[in-house]
Amino acid sequence: MNRMRWIRVPACLLALTAAVAASAQPPSAANGIIGIANIGLRVSDVDKEVAFLGKLGFEESFTSAQGANSFEVYVKVNDRQFIEVYSRTAPNQPLGWLHVCYEAGDLNALQKFYSSTRLGPTPVKKGSAGNLISQVTDPSGNVTQFIQYMPDSRQVQDKGQHLGPDRLSEAILGFVMPVHELLVEKDFYTRLGFESQDVGSVIRLTTAGAPEMRVEITHGVAGGRPQILLPITDAHKAAEQLKRLGVNATLHDKIVLVRDDDGNSFVLLETGSKD
């Protein structure tokens, strides 16, 4: 009769297995995604875009060179949120949405978790503005970045400055992203740590570290553009203010729709408060 034999597993192998299992655990809500840090747009004319955003009440915070013929302007929404405006360096470069960048409580922990789930994040490094950054690419080819603000970074050093008194909104609430493969993108965001809720043809995404953030993915058509969502206190007053400044604003009940010269869409939502 064959007897079952017990196999002694080396302690070092047990330790390695435990380490791998631990690395697959997502970070706590406070160490994971805690908000949207910035949204990047490539535009045909940086000065015109900055002027357009200025009519929404947002001020230029600082600029950063990206190469001999490329630069970006950081336009401040609040002390932790920016719209990054990138110059076009070649005629064939597509205009519009470049990336969304989420703020992380502990980027090293988040990057380690994403590596364990084979999302393929880039190594954490220090960016030109002085913050820790990493990124992944979603199934549609969109760049998703992650940032951890450092005390000596340009964003943190600019705290309390360039907060225009005429800002129509004081926060980036979120965005609506049209995608070709809805379920594939849903799986990608779930692996990022988002919780999803199917609402008809729209999937709403939330995360425990930023419950007020509003991210939606929806089935898109060719040429569909993401929409940047900004909360406002009074839609009618906002529409009137924008029209006085020469902005083509369309009012739909409690929603104001505006587009820049390149067709980027900004949706101003009356929520009763600016943030």
Backbone angles phi, psi at 132, to 5 degrees: -80, 135
For residue 164, pLDDT over 60 is answered with yes
The span from the CA of 220 to the CA of 182, in Å, is: 9
- Confirm whether 6 is domain-assigned: no
Does this model's pTM top 0.75? My answer is yes
**213 found inside a domain:** yes
Q: What is the pLDDT of residues 237-273, one digit of tens each?
A: 999 999 999 999 999 999 999 999 999 999 999 987 5
* CA 83 to chain centroid: 10
- Domain extent, residue 161, equals 33-270
Arithmetic mean of pLDDT, 210-221? 91
16 CB-near residues (< 8 Å, 6+ apart): none
Does residue 215 register a pLDDT over 50?
A: yes
- C-alpha dihedral, 264 to 160 to 169 to 140, nearest 10°: 40
Half-sphere exposure of residue 163: CA atoms within 13 angstroms, side-chain side: 11
For residue 174, which amino acid is it? G
The domain that holds 190 is classified in CATH as 3.10.180.10
Query: Looking at the DSSP assignment, which residues form a beta bridge with residue 84?
Result: 40, 74
- Residue 194 DSSP SS3: coil
How many domains, in total, are found in the chain? 1
Residue 18 lies in a domain: no
pLDDT digits (tens, 9 = 90+) for 30-78: 999 999 999 999 999 999 999 999 999 999 999 987 665 567 999 999 9
